[in-house]
Structure 1
């Protein structure tokens, strides 16, 4: 049996080498050792994800779930690990008292010893969102770890509009924040809080307007 497993492993290794593919290494890391690339979260989204994490914990499925939700990381100066996605998941895991998660390195910018060079690279690659509730910030203003992120209710609102057909989900980095900034001057926060249903309806109409045509996931006019 051991010999058979060794041969199978050897064959897969050869195949990966011949086809140019390689297995991404997934490693454990303390949650607070991952550095955010955004300033805000949608706290309602975190609550929803925390319930999912709790369910996985209760069903004995946490380990598998954590591996599936491995956090993509870019290595920066000093080998610091900057997460470029998964902020809501990480906040949810922390809320459930989870201390470590899995991560995978998707790019290595650690050769940029100068912080300004590193952040220029990150900005050019669209791997950081330098706004705090719609207002521009410098990289130095980003939180050091997940506990420093603050709530942006428009981020939650944008996700709700998306889920109700306002726009399509795409792989565009930070797309919900882009939409949040679009809705911010158009739909008043007190309206969202006092008549949520009507606010969503209004935002769906705004999302299908031609003025939003350049935004990621734009669906076009209602038919």
Structure 2
């Protein structure tokens, strides 16, 4: 399987969840040798080649960032599409049409593609992105193959819950968010499970 240096990978989103990255980084740092190699091989990073042949990450931004923070320099990649022949404008239009990019900041506001970061580890922290992952991890909704599902959940939670100011508030918010995720208000979101019996 082909590998690329993590510092070559270009992000296609503006935010990520630092809580999730810290947890993943800690997990990767706890592994050595064959165990670390297997963990890295489990999550190849899907990329699309853009203008100039630059590899743009369309999933696993958190994985790539956590590995970089754990001093891993290269990751296996899977080529999803080669759009290197397109103009910059045509590239981003195609990326958006395929739902391979999410140009929104931590407040849910659209940003220009020219404001995309250069490296995966430079993304802004979005507490609601971490919250959506935590809610999924404790069974608030199911993981699906729907592109950008975590961001749809993040935006839903952002509209309905206050921004946590510290770890205790975040932990309390997870419980509220799970209830909200299983309510009728979340009907239609990917992985929706409905009320618990």
TM-score by length of 1: 0.81
Q: Aligned residue for 1:168?
A: 142
Cα distance, 1:194 vs structure 2: 4.2
| Alpha-carbon distance in structure 2 between the residues aligned to 1:164 and 1:67 | 25
Q: Is the 8 A contact 1:192 1:199 kept in 2?
A: no
| Alpha-carbon distance in structure 2 between the residues aligned to 1:193 and 1:160 | 13
* Bigger Cα Rg: 1
Matched position secondary structure for 1:49: helix
Q: Is the 8 A contact 2:103 2:112 kept in 1?
A: yes
Q: Is the 8 A contact 1:45 1:156 kept in 2?
A: yes
Pick one of 4, 11, 15 that aligns with 1:36: 11
> Which has the higher relative contact order, 1 or 2, with Cα contacts under 8 A spaced 6 or more apart?
2
TM-score by length of 2: 0.91
| Alpha-carbon distance in structure 2 between the residues aligned to 1:218 and 1:81 | 32
C-alpha spacing 1:166/1:191, structure 2 compared with 1 (3 Å): farther
- Residues matched between the structures, number: 196
| Alpha-carbon distance in structure 2 between the residues aligned to 1:209 and 1:131 | 26
The unaligned stretches of length 5 or more in structure 1 are 1-25
Q: Aligned residue for 1:125?
A: 98
The one-character-per-residue Cα deviations of 1:117-163 (angstroms, maximum 9, x if unpaired) are: 11111111000011111111121111111131121111111111112
